[in-house]
Structure 1
Amino acid sequence: MHPVIRKTFGGLSVQYYIRNFLFGLVIAALNIYMLTLAEQSQAIGIWFFILISTLLYPYSRFVYESIVDYIMGGNVFFVNAIFMLVTKVITMLMCFAMAVFIAPIGLLYLYYHHSKAER
């Protein structure tokens, strides 16, 4: 495997990637289901966007969780479970929708992090 690909796309742990990839698949399946319910035909670009977003979602989620981890600093908040689940779903949908724009930040960070670790 090429070092750049190994340091970027192979930079997340397998468990973390699979877990978030499965969530991305669920979101993609819901999007595809809604598209099939539409009366009009869909452009190929929408299907391509869903595919790319599904593949990049774990990296997008990595960026989001890293930022939240940095801001929260290990603090724990006790809130209503329904509120937390709704918030989690909203952030997951946002990360999926913006994966094309957010994931490159995570890939650049992973490349930098793993390149620095090799020295």
Structure 2
Amino acid sequence: MDDLLESGGALAAVPPDATVADVQAAALDSGHLRILVRGPGTAWQVVHVRDTLTEPETAGIRGLPRPALLFPAGTPVYTVLSRMRESGNQLALVTQSGKVLGVVTITDVLRRLFPRSRPAPASPR
């Protein structure tokens, strides 16, 4: 699964003591609706920006994040898809030796399993 990771991309993440405004700013800056909440080691969480919309901007995000799905780098793609579907998660963190290597989305997984085929060339008339 680690081959699905894009190299060099920064994770859209906030610290655990972030405010609602911090999450919304991270979403605006990154273009992502799901923002990672950094934890010690691999104890990361995910907060969806929609869950912040009814909260005051100065409020902390405590109670809003959910545990992130974690997979070791060598996990088979079919296993990842199955667990993502079962849990309703749209993204998962890829880990190796207790470190987060990056994020894989359900779109990444589906593209791997069902690559787009090139259209057949038009036949001459």
Give TM-score, length-normalised by structure 2. 0.22
- Hey, which of these two has a bigger chunk of strand by percent? 2
- Hey, which of these two has a bigger chunk of helix by percent? 1
Structure having greater relative contact order (Cα 8 Å, sep ≥ 6): 1
Give TM-score, length-normalised by structure 1. 0.23
